[in-house]
Amino acid sequence: MPTAEYLSIASGTLGEYLVSLALAGDYETISKLLEKHWWVLNAYGLASVLTRLMLNALLGSKDRKDQLGSELKGKLSVNPEEMIDAFGYGILRNYLPALMVAFGVIKKPEDGAAVCMSLDDLTERGICMHAISVAMNDNAAVVQFSGRLIDTFRELLFEKPGLLKELGVNADKLLDEFMELVSGLDGKSLVQLPVPINSMARLALMLHALINGDEKLAKAHALIGVIGSKLLARLFLEAYRACCDLGSEEFRRAIAKLFFYHV
């Protein structure tokens, strides 16, 4: 147990250092550290996956990644199955099959439906099946799902008038912006929004969206993250306001702060 605890701390510390180097543009040191201490980074799955997602975002341009070499570029990639395994505890179980359909992990909707049917609660099964329809871009399901997301966001938003006032934001304006973002998303993106149970899983999905060029989805994740504890609300709001140019130092620093908070 002491060794496992040490390695989890070492993995997170190495991840923080690598992200700091990426912000500074020191790609040579990143390469050396990854070659020498790759096993340390992978000693703790959560830290490893979140660090690699973060590095992929910060090193997004071809020129930056080319400085790491082809072997390291391949190692830094995070496939959907790996991300789901790492953050499984932070994902709503009744949305997991839909997320796997959206990510292409489950190819056939009937396979996702079989997972839904394994849920004990009938209501949860219904939510699960509906979410799969959304991920498959069924028009009626997408429209209904969008409305439900907006209603839920509205309820959560107006439960925290004190926090929003302290942050200097207008609830009505945030709601309008959320509605605009949601209206521009397809089913595969929409179904990812209610999936995270905690802020670390939301950050991971936000980074995944950024890496894959889905800026509206990333921005929607950041906006939902504003409805949290005071510090997290400030950090997600900063990322939301700066989103989503990865060449912008302001935005790079904003997502880095979220990373450092969680690792």
**pLDDT tens sequence across 12-38:** 899 999 999 999 989 889 999 998 999
Burial of 214: CB neighbours in 10 Å, binned 0-12, 13-18, 19+? buried
Cβ 136 vs Cβ 112: under 8 Å: no
pLDDT for position 44: 83
pLDDT band at 109 (very low <50, low <70, confident <90, very high): confident
Alpha helices in the chain (DSSP H): 2-24, 27-41, 45-58, 62-66, 70-76, 80-86, 96-102, 109-117, 122-135, 139-157, 161-167, 171-183, 187-190, 199-211, 215-225, 230-242, 249-262
Helices 2-24 + 249-262 axis angle, to 10: 170
> pTM to 2 decimals?
0.93
Residue that is written with structure tokens 């020191």 in the block: 26
The lowest-confidence range among 67-71, 102-106, 159-163 is: 67-71
Residue closest to 142 by CA, chosen among 110, 100, 182:
182
Looking at residue 2, its pLDDT comes to 62
pLDDT for the residue 164: 87
Distance of CA 173 to the CA centre of its chain: 24
Q: How confident is the model at residue 178 (pLDDT cuts 50, 70, 90)?
A: very high
Q: What's the Cα-to-Cα distance from 22 to each of 65, 74, 189, rounded to whole Å?
A: 11, 17, 28
The pLDDT assigned to 52 comes to 95
Predicted local distance difference test score (pLDDT) of residue 161: 83
Q: What would the pLDDT profile of 153-167 be if each residue is shown by its tens digit? A: 999 998 888 888 888
